[in-house]
Amino acid sequence: MNIADPLGVPAAPLETWQAMQTRLDDADLTGARLILITDRQGERSQAGYAALVLLGQGPQETAVISAPAFGPRYGAAGRAALAELVNWADGAGLPTAETILSGGDVQRVLAEPDADEVANLIAASNPADPAIYTTPAPPAEPEWTY
């Protein structure tokens, strides 16, 4: 497996999404898939994500990894970038999955990813419905005071 250095800038959603788009613009997406990596379980409204796009298969498989910069943790721009990434993947026919790691593991894997860690990350991923990343959260109900 070929593993590229992580693309983008941590906590910079627009720059990271642009770097991913540039890298994936002319890529052959046959059999590709998107795996979102987070350190939050059950807290999507506060989660931050890095992205892993797998291209190709077998010895020619390439892992394109982003810096952690997608999702609500990074504000409105992070939510928008996550929605754009997932919509892009869905429109291109890439299945979406999610992997949840501990905070330390996320930092270590993304700093210097190696083939064994990426393989474990892939094995730990679970299919995810793209709509959970692209549908805006309903507004919180107002607290009524009496």
pLDDT band at 2 (very low <50, low <70, confident <90, very high): confident
Task: Say how far residue 113 (Cα) sits from the centre of its chain.
Answer: 15
Q: Count other C-beta atoms under 10 Å from residue 128's C-beta.
A: 17
38 located within any domain: yes
Q: Which H/E stretch holds residue 22?
A: helix 13-24
Residue 143: inside a domain, yes or no?
no
Of 27-36, 42-51, 81-90, 137-146, the range with the lowest mean pLDDT is 137-146
Name the strands in the sheet holding 2-3, side by side, starting at the edge strand that comes first in the sequence.
Answer: 2-3, 62-65, 49-55, 33-38, 96-100, 126-127
The answer to whether position 104 is within a domain reads yes
- What mean pLDDT is predicted for residues 7-31? 95
At residue 50 the predicted structure's pLDDT band, cuts being 50, 70 and 90, is very high
Average pLDDT, the chain: 89
Percent of residues, the chain, with pLDDT higher than 90: 63
Number of domains present in the structure of the chain: 1
Which pLDDT band holds residue 131 (cuts at 50, 70, 90)? very high
Of 73-82, 112-121, 133-142, the range with the lowest mean pLDDT is: 133-142
Residue 144 lies in a domain: no
**40 occurs within a structural domain:** yes
- Whether residue 141 is contained in a domain is answered as no
Is the model's pLDDT at 136 over the cut of 80?
Answer: no
CATH number of residue 31's parent domain: 3.40.1530.10
Write out the residue range of the structural domain in which residue 7 sits: 2-132
What band does 145 get if pLDDT is binned at 50, 70 and 90? Answer: low
In a domain, 140, yes or no: no
Rounded to whole angstroms, the Cα distance separating 106 from 61 reads 21
128 within 8 A of 98, measured Cβ to Cβ = yes
Q: Tell me the β-bridge partners of 23.
A: none
Inside any domain, residue 96:
yes
Task: Kindly state the helix (H) or strand (E) to which residue 35 belongs, with its residue range.
Answer: strand 33-38
Rg (CA), the chain: 15
Distance from C-alpha of 51 to C-alpha of 13, rounded to nearest angstrom: 11
